[in-house]
């Protein structure tokens, strides 16, 4: 599975955001709109002039951002940027030609970025940029600097890129924030700070979080050319010398978060069953033991379930393997949306699935799995114009034993009894 394909899966279904695209050249606007829709499944409203853009802005549509040409038939000198700024709509500028003066002016007016529309690559960059900004809303970044002015600058610059920005005035404060905010993905840290300098902070962070989990960017205004190498050797992912431009900062941060996302996707693909999207056998056994220990420490009831699609070979023989795959995917979908509280759901192989779930009482466990068992029987699959009804057998171990392996063995024994007893039933004990 390619990284782009894996990313696109998260944007399937109902459009998640809207873009106002302002461009008077129809061929370019249609191409840009098509690329944005295909890549991010977003809604794109096209305006060909400043007057049309004003109408769109007053329509009540909530636009995530605007992509606007700087030279329009009724606004030839970039006046559209003022209109969008007044509407408080974040904007990416696109233009056929650019110079330093225009760049400085647009950035001063709060434009997020500018794209010179001189090639297909420019529109591919624009497409990725829009998605990058949308995803940034859900990413936490920590800026660490003992200077209040520097912290405020970093917070403002990163905020314009839609990041959730946290700040810390010292290394010790940063460690506390990291501990209480496990979703932080990027940390920017100054070198010269009291109590704990940037090197020590990076070293402490790396004791708990690897480079594939949190990206660290070292910062310094020092003339010491060795600082960057020392930051990188001690565990930082990147380094920026102060002063840095807005564009350099945002490029480096976005580049590092994209690296983390690619690693996340590769890891997720390796842990998933390709057909159903559920976790695979290897992931289940690698992580199940840890969940067993964790739930025991938290005094939570752990339930282990083994389940099997009844007469699955008959389904394949009767309807074909493609329809058999459809049944497996539908079964996985029902498992993913089941009402019982699941810790881990996996396809172990073939038509066999395993579930680690939480339950407060025997009665609750029985009720939830009975409801799931019934929902499978009442939800047939559809393939090649055929309706395929199927049932499942479930073996449950609702009692905590000495190990996860022991619970899995008990659940598997109960699954065997369910199948030997006529299938389409639940055996627990």
Query: Do the beta carbons of residue 32 and residue 56 sit within 8 Å?
Result: no
In whole angstroms, what is the distance from residue 382 CA to residue 405 CA? Answer: 36
**In this predicted structure, what is the pLDDT of residue 301?**
84
Using DSSP's 3-state secondary structure scheme, residue 213 falls into coil
Closest CA to 425 of 379, 366, 384, 385: 366
**In this predicted structure, what is the pLDDT of residue 100?**
78
User: What is the CATH topology of the domain spanning 137-271?
Assistant: Rossmann fold (3.40.50)
User: What is the CATH topology of the domain spanning 281-428?
Assistant: Alpha-Beta Plaits (3.30.70)
In whole angstroms, what is the distance from residue 47 CA to residue 51 CA? Answer: 8
Give backbone dihedrals phi and psi of 98, rounded to 5 degrees, phi first. Answer: -145, 150
Query: Do the beta carbons of residue 46 and residue 21 sit within 8 Å?
Result: yes
Give backbone dihedrals phi and psi of 189, rounded to 5 degrees, phi first. Answer: -130, 135
In whole angstroms, what is the distance from residue 25 CA to residue 195 CA? Answer: 58
From-to residues of CATH 3.30.70.270 in the chain: 281-428
Residue in the structure block whose two tokens are 């389904």? 315
For residue 310, say if its preceding peptide bond is cis, omega within 30 degrees of 0.
Answer: no
In whole angstroms, what is the distance from residue 340 CA to residue 361 CA? Answer: 12
What does each of the 429 residues of the chain score in pLDDT, given as a tens digit? 444 445 555 555 666 899 999 999 999 999 999 999 999 999 999 999 999 999 999 999 999 999 999 999 999 988 999 999 999 999 999 988 777 777 777 778 889 998 999 899 999 999 999 999 999 999 999 999 999 999 999 999 999 999 999 999 999 999 999 999 999 999 999 999 988 999 999 999 999 999 999 999 999 998 888 999 999 999 999 999 999 999 899 999 999 999 999 999 999 999 999 999 999 999 999 999 999 998 888 888 889 999 999 999 999 999 999 999 999 999 999 999 887 777 899 999 999 999 998 877 778 878 889 999 999 999 999 999 999 999 999 999 988 899 999 999 999 999 999 999 999 999 987
The rounded radius of gyration (Å) of the Cα atoms in the chain is: 27
Q: Residues, the chain, total?
A: 429
Question: Could you tell me the end-to-end alpha-carbon distance of the chain, in angstroms, rounded to an integer?
Answer: 40
Taking the CA atoms of 266, 268, 269 and 270 in sequence, report the sign of the dihedral they define: positive
Residue in the structure block whose two tokens are 């159903």? 276
Closest CA to 191 of 234, 249, 145: 145
In whole angstroms, what is the distance from residue 38 CA to residue 34 CA? Answer: 6
DSSP for 311-361, please give it: THHHHHHHH-HHHHHHHHHHHHHHHHT-SSEEEEEEEEETTEEEEEEE-SS
Supply the CATH classification number for the domain 3-133.
3.40.50.2300
Helix (H) or strand (E) holding 393: strand 392-397
**In this predicted structure, what is the pLDDT of residue 9?**
53
Taking the CA atoms of 129, 131, 137 and 138 in sequence, report the sign of the dihedral they define: negative
Using DSSP's 3-state secondary structure scheme, residue 384 falls into coil
In whole angstroms, what is the distance from residue 147 CA to residue 260 CA? Answer: 28
From-to residues of CATH 3.40.50.2300 in the chain: 3-133, 137-271
């Amino acid at each position: 599975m390619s990284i782009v394909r894996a990313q696109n899966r998260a944007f399937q279904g109902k459009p998640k955001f809207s873009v106002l695209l302002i461009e008077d050249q129809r061929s370019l606007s249609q191409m840009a709109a098509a690329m944005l829709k295909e890549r991010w499944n977003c809604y794109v409203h096209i305006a060909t002039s400043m007057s049309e853009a004003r109408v769109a802005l007053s329509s009540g549509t909530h636009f995530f951002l605007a992509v606007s040409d700087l030279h329009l038939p009724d606004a030839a000198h970039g006046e559209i940027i003022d209109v969008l700024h007044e509407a408080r709509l974040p904007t990416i500028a696109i233009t056929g030609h650019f110079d330093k003066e225009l760049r400085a002016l647009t950035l001063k007016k709060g434009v997020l970025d500018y794209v010179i529309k001189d090639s297909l690559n420019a529109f591919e960059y624009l497409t990725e940029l829009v998605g990058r900004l949308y995803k940034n809303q859900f990413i936490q970044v920590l800026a660490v600097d003992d200077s209040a002015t520097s912290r405020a600058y970093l917070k403002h610059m990163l905020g314009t890129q839609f990041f959730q920005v946290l700040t810390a005035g010292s290394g010790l404060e940063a460690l506390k924030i990291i501990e209480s905010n496990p979703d932080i993905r990027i940390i920017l840290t100054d070198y010269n700070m009291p109590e704990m300098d940037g090197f020590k902070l990076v070293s402490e962070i790396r004791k708990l979080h690897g480079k594939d989990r949190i990206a660290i960017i070292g910062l310094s205004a020092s003339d010491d050319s060795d600082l960057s190498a020392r930051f990188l050797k001690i565990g930082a992912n990147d380094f920026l010398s102060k002063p840095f431009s807005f564009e350099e900062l945002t490029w480096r941060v976005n580049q590092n978060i994209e690296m983390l996302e690619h690693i996340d996707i590769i890891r997720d693909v390796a842990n998933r069953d390709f057909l159903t999207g559920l976790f695979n056998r290897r992931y289940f056994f690698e992580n199940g033991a840890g969940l067993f220990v964790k739930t025991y420490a938290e005094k939570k009831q752990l339930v282990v379930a083994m389940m099997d699609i009844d007469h699955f070979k008959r389904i394949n023989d009767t309807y074909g393997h493609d329809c058999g795959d459809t049944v497996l995917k539908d079964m996985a979908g029902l498992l993913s949306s089941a009402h019982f509280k699941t810790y881990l759901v996996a396809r172990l192989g073939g038509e066999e699935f395993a579930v680690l779930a939480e339950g407060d009482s025997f009665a609750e466990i029985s009720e939830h799995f009975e409801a799931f068992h019934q929902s499978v029987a009442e939800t047939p699959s559809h393939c090649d114009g055929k309706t395929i009804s199927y049932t499942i057998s479930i073996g449950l171990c609702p009692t905590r034993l000495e190990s996860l392996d022991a619970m899995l063995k008990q659940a598997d024994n109960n699954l065997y009894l369910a199948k030997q007893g006529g299938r389409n039933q639940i055996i627990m004990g």
